[in-house]
Amino acid sequence: MTDKYLVEPDIGFLNEVVGLGGDTLKKCYQCATCSVACPISPDNKPFPRKEMIAAGWGLKDRLVSNADVWLCHNCGDCTTMCPRDAKPGDVMAAIRAYAITEYAQPKSIARAVNDPKKLPILLAIPALIFIVVGLITGLLDFTPGGGEIVHGKFFSTWLVDLVMIPASIWMVAIFALGLKRFIGDIHQNALATGKTDKEKIEPAEFIKALVRVIPRILKHSKFSECGENEERATSHMMVLFGFIGLFIVTGIFFVVLYIFGIHGPYSQLNPVKWLANIAGVSLVIGSALMIKNRLAKTDQVSTYKDWSLIGLALALGLTGMLTEMTRLGGAAGLSYTIYFIHLIFVFALFAYLPFSKLAHLVYRTVAMAYAEYSGRKF
């Protein structure tokens, strides 16, 4: 006998999905072409057809806690083959955007991060924090003097870390709270829909599953299966490895400074500097390619979430590289100014990351690990 399900549409959720780029949703007439085209669609529960049904009915509980929507990496094949131009890939992206806001707290910051009108305020906050904290502590010097350009004389490394470390802790805490709910929700969803028979998540096995999916993420193996958006693999890998490289460099220099007491600027012949420069160039070129690809895809939905992420990545790479280039060129005033702007963008990356599209890196990784753990076949 067929199971009964009381449909309780969430009109507010439906309207938000439409506003986030899923405005073609109602064109879907359930032909299932998208499930045939999708390389991650299992035989027994067609994806993304069932998600399109749930989205059309405004079934928020069936979607926000659904790990499957995170397994989609928007290859675009389903959208290209859709006979009604319902753009399932864009609808899935809109659902993911909604889910990020749903799991990030506080909601007021999540709304501000995704509102273009609030961007000046969000960037002004770190600028004021740096100036106020710097003046109070005396760690900000507007007259660093002549001679060798040393950014630490203008902006003490103590001041930078006094602001950045709390921002990093804030980011980790927001993600921890969101992931606790997220993992619990996707597990309950999996139990309710028969995707798993495990009553509780076994932490050790889940971690093993996470370790197994990391190489898949680093290799971007799923992008190679794309037909429509295959070229995105190069730009995404450049940005991803650019961020990873810069994270490694930051960690090394942090240890060198606070444990070994060796202050910068460091020699350009230093291998860690080589890594920093290569990662910076990779970030700039990768984000520029992302912009080029998005502009070329006139039929693909691009929202403020998309452009703000790419813009931040490009801004981080450009200001970081220009800070170094102007220092080497002896343009002190310009170098210090660009360095200040660079620090504002770095703060924005840490403090606002759990609320931005970049949070998909965390949620998708966890969803892929859960799929691996639960035995969900691609």
Q: Is the domain of 46 the same as that of 121?
A: no
Which of 42, 69, 103 corresponds to the end of one domain? 103
**Pair (157, 57) in one structural domain:** no
DSSP class of residue 377 equals -
- For the whole model, what pTM was predicted? 0.89
* CA distances (Å), origin 264, targets 10, 13, 37, 339, 363: 55, 50, 53, 14, 36
The verdict on 82 and 140 lying in the same domain is no
Q: How many domains are contained in the chain?
A: 2
Q: Is residue 6 in some structural domain? A: no
Residues 155, 47: one domain?
no
* 111 in the same domain as 98: no
Q: Give the pLDDT score at 297.
A: 78
Q: Report yes or no on 5 lying in a domain.
A: no
Low-confidence ranges of the chain (pLDDT < 70): 1-7, 145-146, 224-230, 377-378
Instruction: Show the domain range for 18.
Output: 11-103
In terms of domains, do 197 and 92 share one? no
| Residue in this structure with the two tokens 């799991």, named with its chain if needed | 103
The predicted pLDDT at position 291 comes to 93
Evaluate whether residue 3 is within a structural domain.
Answer: no
The full 3-state SS of 213-234, as one line of letters, equals HHHHHHHCHHHHHCCCCCCHHH
Neighbours of 240 (CB within 10 A): 17
Q: What is the pLDDT of residues 309-350, one digit of tens each?
A: 999 999 999 999 999 999 999 998 899 999 999 999 999 999
Q: Which among 70, 103, 136 is the end of a domain?
A: 103
179 and 38 in a common domain? no
Q: Are residues 256 and 348 in the same domain?
A: yes
Ranges of H-type helices in 57-116: 60-63, 68-71, 77-81, 88-103, 107-113
Residue where one domain finishes, among candidates 72, 103, 134: 103
In a domain, 289, yes or no: yes
Are 98 and 134 part of one and the same domain? no
Residues 364, 39: Cα–Cα separation, whole Å: 17
Q: What is the pLDDT of residue 226?
A: 67
